[in-house]
Each structure stands twice: as C-alpha cells, then as structure tokens.
Amino acid sequence: MNDLKCLETFVWVARLGGFRAAAAQLNTTQPSISARIDQLEQHFGVTLFGPPLKRSTLTREGTVLLEYAERILATMTEARTVVSRADAVRGVLRLGVAETLVHSLMPRLIEVINTSYPDLVVDMIVDTTNVLTEHLLRGQIDVGMQVGPVADPRAVNQRLCHLPLGWVASPELPLGDEPLTLARLAQWPIISFSHGSPLAEEIKRALGGEGREQVRLWGSASLTIMTRMALDGMGSCILPLALVREDLACGRLRRLSVEGVTLPPNGFQISYLRKSNNFLAALVARHACQIGRVLEHEARPDQESRSARSKNTIRQRAPDRLEFQP
C-alpha cells in the first residue's frame, strides 16, 4: 500500500464530502479513489466512511484517523520544504584538525560551511595526528583531518590533500652556497614537527644514517612556533611550503636546496566513523576533499618552477604513495 497516497486520498474525500469530488481534485478516477480507501480500511481493520450506500460521512474511527492523517501530511509538506533549503543541514559538527590544515584548508572549508549551511555549528579542536585519531575512535569528534588514515575497520578514510614539505631558513642565517649538505645544516638546530608525531618519525629516518649523529632535530607541535624560529634565524626548518608562501615571496625566508635527503610525503586524510546518523560528516568530507584538490593544484606551479630553476636533490615520492584507500 502506498501509505501517503492513500492518506492524502482519505483526507480529500473527508474534506470534499465525496469520492467523485476527491477524484477530480486528485486528477484520477473514482474507482481509484475507492480502491485507496479500501486499502486503508483493510490496513486499519475499520470502516472509515458510512453509511454503506453513500460512503460520504466519516465514521467514529474515520474521524479519529483524519486528525492523524492531516498531521502526517502536514509534516511531510514541511519536510519537503525544509530539505530543499540550505538551512536543512543543522546541528553541531565536531572537527579535529591538524595544524597544517588550519592555515591552509580550513579557512576555505569554514567559508563553504558558513555559506551553504548557515544553521550548522562547527566545534573545532587542533591537535596532533595521534591525539586526533584517539579522539575520533572514542567518539569525541565526528571528523578528523590528520596525516595518514585511521587504522580501524570502523573508519572511512578519504584522501584529502598532499602538501609538500621543504627546507626553509632565514636569509640572515650564514649557510653558504647551495646545494647544502646535511653536515652544513647540522651546525644549527633543524626545526620540525613534534617528536611524537608520525611525520616526525619519517623525517628522523630521512635524516638518519652513518655520520649524521650530529643532527639536532628540534620538535614542535606548533607550526606557528616553527615558523617563528626559522624567521628568527635559529636554524633551518622542515615544514609544508604552502604555509610560508608569503614569507618566501617577500624574502623573509628562503627555500633551501639540500643534497642527499629525500623528505617524506605529507599526505592528509579526512576520516569519520561508519554510523547510520553520520551524514553530516560525509557531507563535509566531500567539500573538504574538493578544496584539497584545489590546494594541490595551486601548489603545483611552485613545485614545477622550483624544479626548473634548481638541481635540488630533494625528490618527493610518487603521488600514488599518498593515496590511502578506505
């Protein structure tokens, strides 16, 4: 039985006082109207209209059902109106974000959310990948944006973006001519991510090896602090180049060419848990991934021009190494 169509037919018969008038209103035949009323009566096990010969007056049971039917149809009409509007998406979405994305992807994502879904409230925390993963699995956030996928069968992981790492330093730091050696850079601290992060472990391996014990790798969970130390000439710094594009363009920082070191990829994932009521997470993830592709496209010319100007031996790994499938 098509419940809504039968209820709509029942309401019109009751309002117009007859099957023929309801058929004209609904642009159908009188036998079709009768068939729908019969289905309703069989479904509820009662007679809705009487007396039997006229079938135009509501019975006691019909009067009771009419109130519910009108309420159901009114609710459906309201639902159709609401879901077609941008403000149909509402509630609170808890986002956990790696700091790199706070300075690159998040401003654009917040703008999209604010414009497209004005009734959606965002509650955002910024932390390291390890902490964000823990928060997601404990249900403390709805969406996590971190380095790499969340290794849990409940998680949906989608490739977000790849923001290449690079070496930078203050022009005032007396490093000498490029390409630079790691031994030369090791005369000052090398500033990068917090030692407990997965990316820091990969950087340690990239900088490891025979004769490299003198490297002092300073870690920080704050990209703002890392950038500040580089600007102040405290040492060289390994960070996402997209974050210091303006400093590089105006000469406050210089990009370094370093030989013999392959920096790890910096691939971000957006993750959420598989739950029936998690449609907001999937919706925002789709927008975030679209913005991520734009960021990668914008970063590409800088990489290509850098490659053409220099024989830099820092080689990024193939892009497909960054694609973690859910």
Domains of the chain (ranges; CATH) run 3-83 (1.10.10.10), 87-160+267-322 (3.40.190.10), 165-256 (3.40.190.10)
Bigger pLDDT: 199 vs 82? 199
* Four-CA torsion 300, 264, 191, 194, nearest 10 degrees: 120
Asked if pLDDT for residue 314 goes beyond 60, the answer is no
Asked if pLDDT for residue 60 goes beyond 80, the answer is yes
Averaging pLDDT over each range in 57-71, 84-98, 295-309, which range is the top one? Answer: 57-71
Mean pLDDT for the stretch of residues 128-136: 91
pLDDT digits (tens, 9 = 90+) for 266-313: 889 999 998 777 788 888 999 999 999 998 888 764 554 444 444 343
Six token digits for residue 188: 């000052």
Among 3-7, 125-129, 209-213, name the one with the lowest average pLDDT: 209-213
pLDDT > 70: percent of the chain: 85
Residue 6, judged by CB atoms within 10 A of its CB (0-12, 13-18, 19+), counts as buried
Mean pLDDT for the stretch of residues 238-263: 89
Among 15-19, 32-36, 322-326, name the one with the lowest average pLDDT: 322-326
Asked if pLDDT for residue 182 goes beyond 90, the answer is no
Residue 89 DSSP label: -
0.85 exceeded by the pTM?
A: no
Asked if pLDDT for residue 88 goes beyond 80, the answer is no
